[in-house]
Amino acid sequence: MKKKTAPQAAKPKATSAKKTAANAKKSATKATAANKPGAKKKTAKKPAANKPTAKPNTATTKRPKATRAARQLFMFSYHEHDWDEDAFKNSGKERLRRAQTGTWTAQRVPRSSWDNYCEVDSLAALRDQVRGFLVDQYHAPAKAAELPLAALRRMLDEDGWSFVGGRFLEFEGNHNDTTIYALLAQR
């Protein structure tokens, strides 16, 4: 016959740093079912040659910011600061010559500044600004305003761009040339 023993009181837990560290080490090395001797180890399956591989998790993969990264600022200038006195005397003819020979050039501008070049949001509004200044105020030939915008229209139609916004700056002696800016997005 077994003797009944009196229930023993629970021993107080050790509180010293040495014993606490020992208890943490023991709990970290507890054997789980996979770690026990004789347990089968699972190995990753190799994908079969004919089976498609798993698609990457699109929620965690980084995607390029297409709406911002595919934008480019272009500039057309009449380059008045390069003119000589004869050019200023015949400014209408010189603007026409510059419009015929000038090109739109890509500008390196921080993305945070792009909004500064979008005073108008349509090509028609930009055309009205350019025409209103060059033709109505400076009495330049209408083609001096139309040719750069026709070249911009060709870029939009042929090179896969869409118009985001634009800005027109008139000639200011020591500051800037007459300049047209267009922010375009790649389609």
Hey, how many other C-beta atoms are within 10 angstroms of the C-beta on 41? 6
Cβ pair 171, 157 in contact under 8 A: no
Helix crossing, 142-158 with 91-101: angle to 10°? 10
Do 78 and 177 touch, CB atoms closer than 8 A? Answer: yes
Domain ranges of the chain: 66-186
**Which tens digit of pLDDT belongs to each residue from 48-73?**
555 555 555 544 444 344 345 489 99
Instruction: Tell me the pTM.
Output: 0.60
39 pLDDT higher than 80: no
How far out from the chain centre does Cα 119 lie? 20
Mean pLDDT, rounded, for 139-167: 94
Residue 77: φ, ψ to 5°: -130, 150
Res 92: pLDDT? 81
